[in-house]
Structure 1
Amino acid sequence: MFRVIGTFVYRMRFLVIAVMIALMAGLGLYGLDLSKHLSQSGWFDPTSESDLGARYADKALGRDHTSDVILLVTPPEGTTVDDPAFGKKVETFVEDLIATHPDIVGRADPGLYDPFLVQPAQSAVQERLFTPDKRQAFISIGVAGNDDTTVLANYNTIEPFFDDIAERFDIPGATFELAGLQPVSGSMADGMDKDIKRAEVIALPVVALMLFFVFGGVVAACLPVLIGGLTIAGSLGIMKILALTTELNIFAQSVVTLIGLGIAIDYGLFIVSRFREELGEGYSTKAAVRRTVMTAGQTVVFSATIIVAALACLLIMPQGFLKSVAYGAIASVSLAAILSITVLPAILGILGPRVNMLSIGSILKYTAIPLVRRFSTEERAVALENRFSGRMKTSQEVENGFWGRLATWVMKNPLKTAIPTVLLLLALTVPFGSIQFGGISEKFLPPDNSARVAQEKFDEYFPSERTEAVKLVIVYDETNQEDQNKLEAIARQADQVPGFTNKFSDPDKAGFGSYDAERYPNVGVYQVSAGLVDRTKAAKAIDQLRAIDTQGLTMYVTGTPALTQDSIDALMNRLPLMAIMLVLITGLLMFLQFGSLVLPIKAALMTALGLGATLGILTWIFVDGHGAGLANFTPGPLFAAILVLIIAIIFGLSTDYEVFLLSRMVEARQRGASTTESIRSGIAHTGGIITAAAAILVVVTGAFSLSDIVMMKYIAYGMIAALILDATVIRMLLVPSVMKLLGDDCWWAPRWMQTVQRKIGLGEAVLEDEPDEQRDSRAARKMSAGTLVAEAPTSVMAAARPRTAPTGPAPARRGAPGRDGRQPVPPRPAPGAPMTNAPQPGVPQPNGPLTNAPAAKTRQPGAPVQRNGGPGPVPPAPMPGDSPGRAAPGRVGPSAPPTAQPAGSRAPGASAEAPRPERRPMAPYRRSGLPKSDRPDTGGWTLGEGGIRLGDAAPRGNGDRPTGTTPPPAPPVQAPQPAAAPARDADSRSPLGRRPTLDDAGRRPLAASVSPENSTPTTRGRRTSGPSPMERGLSPDATPAATPRPGTGPVPPSGEADSGRRRPRTDRHARSDETGDDAQISVQELLKRSRSEK
């Protein structure tokens, strides 16, 4: 599927860009007024007892608007609120407000309590709305609307009318402050709008600057930021569509912006990095786009699937707030993945190699380097130019870098790393034991916020009129006098519960109404209320109220404290189910990708440790209050819904990074690496990019950590702590140490589960090299033949694994990691064992005499040549069991000196011409089209019979020249025999649970040929007896004739034989028979002739 997507995107790249950008722009314009359609509802559990009681009261008594807007009035110094002159001026303001907005504000509907209206009926109200010292008063102003969205929209309409009241109504020295539910909600909405703008102004430029240093270029750095902007624009439009069909909480917009922007930029980072890597491998733009979508694109989609699955678990929670965030976040993450595999590859298809334009190297080339060259030395200028040349690192350079060395150190000390790391994470989890949960309140605003200051003053001056009162709603039969008598008895029992500011039996706090006079004519509703002294003790007081004997009547304890407590209880009851769903869904997806049952379990445990440490840090900061003054917030209970949201987000992101890390490990494992090498390879290749991705998310969330809203600080601080711990401590220290301790058991799964995984596996495609026609030599980085020799083969596994002669068709797809089929390696002699020419048991002896005589430095014509220009060893005879037509599997070892020649003499049959001095070979970077499993990993050139083959040209031995001269082979040299290695633990198992085949030395096949000691740039393994495949290919002694495959003709002569890579496809690849002199032809000469023939 992804191959089709990549091909289509490149073919229709201009159309894809035009359609998708136009669609995102349209959605962005459509969603500009999204904030007008968001609501303040969704904080509570709609299925709870308290919510049901609130609906009864609203139906019978109407919506309670007394707490919508509280205007706190303080007269000038020396004046009291009962002064008639002052009261008349205030009443002028009230009348003007009603006249200006008659459809929003009214005395009867929705309700307005005005103590300054001089009427006899208002005398009782004045006693409640004036302080005892008559220095403060408040006016309760109801805002029309039957739902939170309408009420908030109407408040935003009348809010400007409250500006500069003292100046407009000639009341100098008076103070007017706004408190109540809507001013507090409006301040939170304004703070969230500022957060989004801050993220756009601060986060995007900083992220672009970071990407510039990550990619080393301006063009490449701007592409992920472009994807992030398009994602946010599209998400706004999608959220508005959702807001028109269901209620979306106002808090969802900020969370969606935070998650969508960070994830989209991360996905853009992965796609652009892979595309530049494919260009560096020499592929054309078309092939690079297709391969990028097939590999990184598939991983991005899988990553988005994991995050979406984690966020979807929020849908089991009853709160509409969490569902709103889940809907928006799922839409933004999905949109980020879609844009990353459509728009971004299409743009890359247009740019091609120009994606590296305006790089650091090109900028320095015309700025700093000329100055260094002029005022300093040429050497420093060249060093600076090479440092910022933008060359892609080779696999060997990556594995020898910081992350590779760190992984090596960790695996050498797994227990010393794992135990302190686990103890550190557990220590960070300890503060979570003192966690306290609460609801949303004015304390979520900064301490100096005007709405919060006014609300705190109101709670202090009028404790009995607090806006967060506990209410008792009793349903009774209006026609039954006994039920009416029971109402007062229940209210008196409620008065016995301590912790309230007033009595429930207060008649001023009572209300009567009919539930539905038409449908239920006899059902009445009675409501009484009282304020809490300490909101942190609401749970105990609510439990005591619910324990009251209602004498057969139905009573609901409701109000904001009860609604909050019921929501906390619902979250805690469903949290275990959510955790199980998170583990099972993400574990199933990881198993389908990796085929291991152990890796998902390990990932879940690692994520749990990181999550516990993160929650401990949040408790230490926001509950215990450490750093509250610096971060400008008031410590208090954590909002329970935010805690659940943080768990889902962090679990998804942590599993996402685990997938990127394990993907490279499994890829190395599929190519034959051991568990240790797989771990090292995965850490080395993903450490930098995971750290960069985490750093980008930290910058984005860091912009939201400056928010005025404590809820946003919760999420931002939690994500920052989780990202830092996950990308460094857990992924780079704990994961490799634990996997090293597990060994091969990391890859275990029951056989039937492996069968299922192979059929429906979701892992990233490990692509084979493509034919040379798919490559663009201009896009490939320049490399010399010497660099090729130093870097080839590019992996330890390919260097150590022998290549048997292929028979039959190639496999249709790559299977699970299997056992190595290498021939056993003869044992080494013990250290200090004497050299002998006697035949060793089980070791094939080369034809010809053996000698240890010192060698002359003169190279024999046609003899193998070492890289330093000296003569090389001659390959030994094939070992028993080797396939015909291929050299026996051997490893490059230290070259033994050849037999000595008399001074001034030359070998028989050698040319009289003096040997040429060796040059550093130069060759273009070209690869074979054969699958990797059927050819040596030599990086684009072939070491075969009689010489080096460039591209598709068939090699010839020097004896095939027209002169007919065939230089004699160099005398064979007996290499020291290896000593027996210690036996490996017999209980170690292979990835599939089977015991691997051991060689004579008791080692597994890969371990028998790969060792960190005495390695060379070409094999990275231990040098043993016998020459390397490269040295055997340079030898004029042809190996035995290859056995033809079934269904093929006889094998051609040595001059046309396959050198172990592939046969020439056309005659134009055949090399000309017009050779030069008798000396060995250098790589540079072969390159010139190949170019002249083309």
Structure 2
Amino acid sequence: MRTLGRLVSHHPWAVLIVWLLAAALSIPFAARAPAALNADPAGGLTQSEATRVTDLLRDRFGERDTNTVVIVTRSTPPLGTPQGDAAYQAFLNGLEKVPGVTRVTPPQDSGPYRTRAEDGTLALTLAQIPLLDGASDTLRLVRAYTARAQTPALNIRVTGGQAIADDFTHFAESDTKRSEFTALPLIALLLLVVFGALVATGLPLIVGMLSISVAMAALYGLTHLMPVSTFAQSVITMLGLGAGIDYALLTVNRFREELKRTPDARLAADRTVQTAGRSVAFSGLTVAIAMAGLILPPIAFVRSIGIGGVLAVLLTVLASLTVLPALLALLGERVNSPRILRFTWAQSGAASAGWTAFARRVTARPWLAVTASTALLLLLASPVLTLRTGYAGAWGLTPGVESRDALQDVRDLGAGGLLSQFEVILDPGHRYGPTDRARFQQTVTDLRALPGVRGVLSPFLTPADLAGSVGGGSGEGGSAGQLAALSALTSRSFSADRALLRVTVIPEDTLRAADIPAFETQLRRTLNASGYTYLLGGAPIGGEEFSRAITDSLPTVVLAVFAGTFLLLMVAFRSLLIPLKSILMNALTVGAATGIVTLIVQHGILAAPLGIPADVGVLDSSLPVLLFAVMFGLSMDYEIFLLSRVQEEYLRSGDNDEAIVLAVGHTARIITSAAIIMFIVFTAFIFGRVVASKSIGLGLAVAVALDATLVRLILVPAFLKLAGKWNWWLPAWLDRRLPHIRLEH
């Protein structure tokens, strides 16, 4: 830090020019990043069963357009009338000409796959588009066409798996932008209250925006190497603003203290880097370790969030250790001008008499403080025992989003199962022949008889299937329609070499994440009894596999983060108890915040006032591991701010109890000021339209509120008081082998 402090304080203009060039080069790429992100729930599971089914359908069955866009039309006058039929036919003719649309299936008014209401007002049109490359581009063209095709006689809305995923991406991006613009004025106002001066107020915002711009540009580069989650953008924004403001508050506060000791601004900036800079570096490193835990699961989608988080934290730390001190070295006393507000409780670098007295009261009754705080946190964490995860699909969006609202019309027609189809690939072990017919047909019959199954697409049509076929009915035209339907189903049911068989199982309704495991279990039980070797795929299986992969990775992430954090804190504080205590108390904070998110998002309690739909039913699969990494890392910010001051006071006086009291007196204002600002940053995300992003914002806001009050100002001081001299115990043999680093702020 000495070298960095001298470099930054003696060459501030060079440092600023480098950062300005980096920002200027980053902005064009950062602007492209949001459009390159995606919300595929199974992104990165290249070896999963659902992915293998998709690959087989493409390579062996020639299916390259299994991506279905569901278009809901309301006709006034209804279909079946000359005017209604004419308006719909004009729409249909144009839809077939949209580039990328390979097939269009008009609505059917009978049979098991009914897609038209009896009164003709409501109908579904199915448009097939590419599964992977060009899917989003084709969907944009379809949506542009339907917008143009809207008339008073025909209301059109678009839904389907691709539409839902693209809406996730679109609204996650727009929500992030809106959250930034909403939070920034409030943050600026609070910073003005804290610093009292316009110049000092602008410094944290500069650091945050610089780090976010460069991190988003790096994220755009990452999109060319792997699928990158939509949530990566939200994480970068939250960490860039939240952590950047945290570190700036600590740094500027220390710089003001140093200016009182010396009139030389460059010397004060140098000393600030060597003291507060160490705490910033270690704090950032703990957050980076937590985010790096997300890189461990073998899921590219999750790794992208981890990489984005690590980038955001490291760049924020780098900006806090270079840009901010360079600006301070140039500004000197001007950092305190123009002085607008004077609130000594927030702007003074001295210890707070109020918080010092509060710390004395807490440490006077340490057992009460520890017991009551721990009991409350465990109570708040208890809903985690009922936590369920999965891909919420359209229910992960708020009402008012077209793809979610249109889904209700699909369900009203009894066609909700079209969005939850299961694809089954059967391997008879040899080329299919006439002797295999009975066995294949029996398997289809068994699947069709399962509870909750609306129908099974196979070569073996029932009378109801034929009645509902295109052109179905009596007479010569009806026979032709039946033959066409039979030919199409036969073609889709056999691979080109007739070595693999395929059936599609359609549930009675759209399956929510909580319902998929039971439905999957009965399918597998039937397929196991068939004697075939099989693969089971489709969107529901892809979502379940992703959820299971995330859940299975959580213990690895938690243990890795705990181990890395323990080692780092052991080196920093020369203690075995302090890192163990920090991990346990941060885990309590994470558990309590996750419990509250579970109660609100999954169970719907108090969901309405926060604009969260009460029918989500599950937490997004990636939320538990994501919330753990981000919340645990940010909680360590305040832990290091407080403990570094406790250690500094203890090394100075040797009095553990007094060190605790003085440390709380010196840091409480910084911690509470930073927490209020971070709370605003995170709360801004609650008012978006993507439930997962709202859940992240809610969890982090709750975690910050709990951590900066109950945990950091009551539970931690009380525990440190009870532990006494054991806080600083480290075996001599280990002390000799660890590097010596001293934290100050």
Aligned to 2:500: 524
Aligned to 1:160: 144
In structure 1, C-alpha distance between the alignment counterparts of 2:313 and 2:394, rounded to whole Å: 31
CA displacement, residues 538-585 of structure 1 (integer Å, 9 cap, x when unaligned): 212212222333554321222222222222222222222221111111
In structure 2, C-alpha distance between the alignment counterparts of 1:86 and 1:127, rounded to whole Å: 22
In structure 1, C-alpha distance between the alignment counterparts of 2:427 and 2:392, rounded to whole Å: 29
Aligned to 1:647: 628
Aligned to 1:134: 120
Query: Where do 1:1045-1056 residues align within 5 Å?
Result: none
* C-alpha deviation, 1:600, in angstroms: 0.9
Aligned to 2:655: 674
Contact in 1 for aligned 2:457/2:504 (Cα 8 Å): yes
Aligned to 1:1015: none
Contact in 2 for aligned 1:303/1:656 (Cα 8 Å): yes
Q: Structure 1-normalised TM-score?
A: 0.62
In structure 1, the gaps of 5 or more residues are 116-121, 365-386, 767-1094
Aligned to 1:487: 440
In structure 2, C-alpha distance between the alignment counterparts of 1:670 and 1:158, rounded to whole Å: 68
* C-alpha deviation, 1:69, in angstroms: 2.1
In structure 1, C-alpha distance between the alignment counterparts of 2:149 and 2:553, rounded to whole Å: 49
CA displacement, residues 195-243 of structure 1 (integer Å, 9 cap, x when unaligned): 2222232211111111111112110010010111112211221111111
**Structure 1 residue aligned with 2:333, among 336, 345, 353?**
353
* C-alpha deviation, 1:711, in angstroms: 0.7
Contact in 1 for aligned 2:41/2:391 (Cα 8 Å): no
In structure 2, C-alpha distance between the alignment counterparts of 1:687 and 1:391, rounded to whole Å: 12
Aligned to 2:539: 560
**Structure 1 residue aligned with 2:321, among 324, 341, 350?**
341
In structure 1, C-alpha distance between the alignment counterparts of 2:449 and 2:736, rounded to whole Å: 68
In structure 1, C-alpha distance between the alignment counterparts of 2:672 and 2:416, rounded to whole Å: 54
- With 192-201 and 6-15 compared, the bigger mean Cα shift is at 192-201
* C-alpha deviation, 1:500, in angstroms: 2.5
Contact in 1 for aligned 2:456/2:503 (Cα 8 Å): no
In structure 2, C-alpha distance between the alignment counterparts of 1:741 and 1:341, rounded to whole Å: 35
Contact in 2 for aligned 1:260/1:333 (Cα 8 Å): yes
Aligned to 1:4: 3
Contact in 2 for aligned 1:495/1:504 (Cα 8 Å): no
Q: Structure 2-normalised TM-score?
A: 0.90
In structure 2, C-alpha distance between the alignment counterparts of 1:240 and 1:67, rounded to whole Å: 26
Paired AA for residue 553 in structure 1: Y
* C-alpha deviation, 1:765, in angstroms: 5.6
Matched, 1:605 2:596: no
Contact in 2 for aligned 1:469/1:532 (Cα 8 Å): no
Paired AA for residue 527 in structure 1: V
In structure 1, C-alpha distance between the alignment counterparts of 2:403 and 2:50, rounded to whole Å: 27
Query: Where do 1:221-236 residues align within 5 Å?
Result: 221-236=201-216
* Cα separation, partners in 2 of 1:560 and 1:514, compared to 1, 3 Å: closer
CA displacement, residues 711-740 of structure 1 (integer Å, 9 cap, x when unaligned): 111101100111011110011111111111
Larger radius of gyration: 1
In structure 2, C-alpha distance between the alignment counterparts of 1:639 and 1:127, rounded to whole Å: 30
In structure 2, C-alpha distance between the alignment counterparts of 1:292 and 1:50, rounded to whole Å: 54
* Cα separation, partners in 2 of 1:301 and 1:81, compared to 1, 3 Å: same
* C-alpha deviation, 1:253, in angstroms: 1.8
Contact in 2 for aligned 1:113/1:139 (Cα 8 Å): yes
Query: Where do 1:51-450 residues align within 5 Å?
Result: 51-62=51-62, 65=65, 68-76=68-76, 79-99=77-97, 101-102=98-99, 104-105=100-101, 109=102, 111-115=103-107, 128-144=114-130, 146-147=132-133, 150-167=134-151, 172-360=152-340, 392-394=348-350, 398=351, 401-450=353-402
* Cα separation, partners in 2 of 1:469 and 1:763, compared to 1, 3 Å: farther
Contact in 1 for aligned 2:424/2:537 (Cα 8 Å): yes
* Richer in helix (by share): 2
Aligned to 2:554: 575
Matched, 1:756 2:709: no
In structure 2, C-alpha distance between the alignment counterparts of 1:472 and 1:26, rounded to whole Å: 49
In structure 1, C-alpha distance between the alignment counterparts of 2:543 and 2:338, rounded to whole Å: 55
* Cα separation, partners in 2 of 1:287 and 1:511, compared to 1, 3 Å: farther
In structure 1, C-alpha distance between the alignment counterparts of 2:64 and 2:613, rounded to whole Å: 29
Paired AA for residue 500 in structure 1: V
* C-alpha deviation, 1:35, in angstroms: 2.8
Contact in 2 for aligned 1:131/1:462 (Cα 8 Å): no
* Cα separation, partners in 2 of 1:208 and 1:702, compared to 1, 3 Å: same
CA displacement, residues 847-866 of structure 1 (integer Å, 9 cap, x when unaligned): xxxxxxxxxxxxxxxxxxxx
**Structure 2 residue aligned with 1:691, among 672, 678, 702?**
672
**Structure 1 residue aligned with 2:516, among 528, 535, 538?**
538
Paired AA for residue 445 in structure 2: R
Paired AA for residue 489 in structure 1: Q
Paired AA for residue 421 in structure 1: S
Query: Where do 1:879-898 residues align within 5 Å?
Result: none
- With 129-138 and 697-706 compared, the bigger mean Cα shift is at 129-138
CA displacement, residues 413-456 of structure 1 (integer Å, 9 cap, x when unaligned): 11121111111112212222322222131111112333211112
CA displacement, residues 107-163 of structure 1 (integer Å, 9 cap, x when unaligned): xx3x22134xxxxxx99899743234433211112234634xx31133224422222
Contact in 1 for aligned 2:611/2:687 (Cα 8 Å): no
- With 56-65 and 133-142 compared, the bigger mean Cα shift is at 56-65
- With 613-622 and 546-555 compared, the bigger mean Cα shift is at 546-555
Contact in 2 for aligned 1:432/1:615 (Cα 8 Å): yes
Q: CA RMSD in A?
A: 2.7
Aligned to 2:485: none
* Cα separation, partners in 2 of 1:295 and 1:393, compared to 1, 3 Å: closer
In structure 1, C-alpha distance between the alignment counterparts of 2:579 and 2:625, rounded to whole Å: 22
Contact in 1 for aligned 2:16/2:323 (Cα 8 Å): yes
* Cα separation, partners in 2 of 1:160 and 1:462, compared to 1, 3 Å: same
* Cα separation, partners in 2 of 1:750 and 1:388, compared to 1, 3 Å: closer
Paired AA for residue 615 in structure 1: T
In structure 1, C-alpha distance between the alignment counterparts of 2:111 and 2:244, rounded to whole Å: 57
In structure 2, the gaps of 5 or more residues are 466-487
In structure 1, C-alpha distance between the alignment counterparts of 2:113 and 2:505, rounded to whole Å: 18
Aligned to 1:40: 39
Task: Give the % identical residues.
Answer: 29
* C-alpha deviation, 1:657, in angstroms: 1.7
Contact in 1 for aligned 2:289/2:564 (Cα 8 Å): yes
* Cα separation, partners in 2 of 1:632 and 1:218, compared to 1, 3 Å: same
Aligned to 1:26: 25
Aligned to 1:728: 709
In structure 1, C-alpha distance between the alignment counterparts of 2:700 and 2:416, rounded to whole Å: 40
User: Relative contact order: is structure 1 or structure 2 higher (C-alpha 8 Å, sep ≥ 6)?
Assistant: 2
* C-alpha deviation, 1:57, in angstroms: 2.5
* C-alpha deviation, 1:75, in angstroms: 1.4
* C-alpha deviation, 1:466, in angstroms: 2.2
Contact in 1 for aligned 2:113/2:415 (Cα 8 Å): no
In structure 1, C-alpha distance between the alignment counterparts of 2:208 and 2:129, rounded to whole Å: 39
* Cα separation, partners in 2 of 1:495 and 1:157, compared to 1, 3 Å: closer
Aligned to 1:715: 696
Paired AA for residue 340 in structure 2: I
In structure 2, C-alpha distance between the alignment counterparts of 1:296 and 1:152, rounded to whole Å: 47
* C-alpha deviation, 1:484, in angstroms: 5.3
* Cα separation, partners in 2 of 1:511 and 1:272, compared to 1, 3 Å: farther
Contact in 2 for aligned 1:426/1:613 (Cα 8 Å): yes
Aligned to 2:415: 463
Contact in 2 for aligned 1:17/1:346 (Cα 8 Å): yes
3-state secondary structure, aligned to 1:432: helix
In structure 2, C-alpha distance between the alignment counterparts of 1:192 and 1:151, rounded to whole Å: 19
Paired AA for residue 738 in structure 1: F
3-state secondary structure, aligned to 1:70: strand
- With 17-26 and 83-92 compared, the bigger mean Cα shift is at 83-92
